[in-house]
Amino acid sequence: MINILLSVRRPFSEKILSGEKGWELRKNAPRIPRGEHVTLWLYESGQYGTRGIIGKCRLVVTAGLRPYPPKGILEWTMKQACVTEEHLRNYLPCYVWGIQDPVRISTVPLSDIGLTRPPQSWQYLTDKQAAILEQAACRECYPHEDQRLWEPRKEGE
């Protein structure tokens, strides 16, 4: 599994976590082997952001978008990326990152994963950094330590 830390400003971070924004626009894209699963960890940046890791989602596809896309593709991209036509045209060419299954977590400071500053756009995370974030996300599902040990009984037991 590949884990990526993605810097996102408000209000886009909230739109991703609400499921309203299904595409993120970036100037480049990660190299992903075919069939590999990718988790995007969302770092909320900017003057009014929390400046911490606030959630995660799945990266499902990346595709290049040329400077002069057909009108229908332009409109569809604007809607999915929650941007204006002017913003999109000024940002082309770019890559579209398709994202799904957003999950909000309690804010995790960058220092918890050994970072002193956020990435300009995105960066790969190590397995150790990802494990720390997964543990933080797991606390959301199981707020009491002993709940993780509970397993439902199987039929016949």
Give the tens place of pLDDT for each residue, 140-157.
554 444 444 444 444 554
Q: What is the mean pLDDT of residues 102-130?
A: 95
The pLDDT, as a whole number, for residue 49 is 78
pLDDT band at 44 (very low <50, low <70, confident <90, very high): very high
Domain boundaries, the chain: 2-62+97-145
Give the tens place of pLDDT for each residue, 69-101.
888 999 999 999 999 999 999 999 999 999 999
The pLDDT, as a whole number, for residue 48 is 80
Give the count of alpha carbons within 13 A of 97, CB side only.
23
Fold of the domain spanning 2-62+97-145: ph1033 like fold (3.10.590)
pLDDT of residue 58 exceeding 90: yes
pTM of the model: 0.84
Distances (CA, A) of 150 to 9, 26, 37, 131, 157: 38, 41, 27, 21, 15
* 129 Rama sector, left if φ>0, alpha if ψ -120 to 50, beta otherwise: alpha
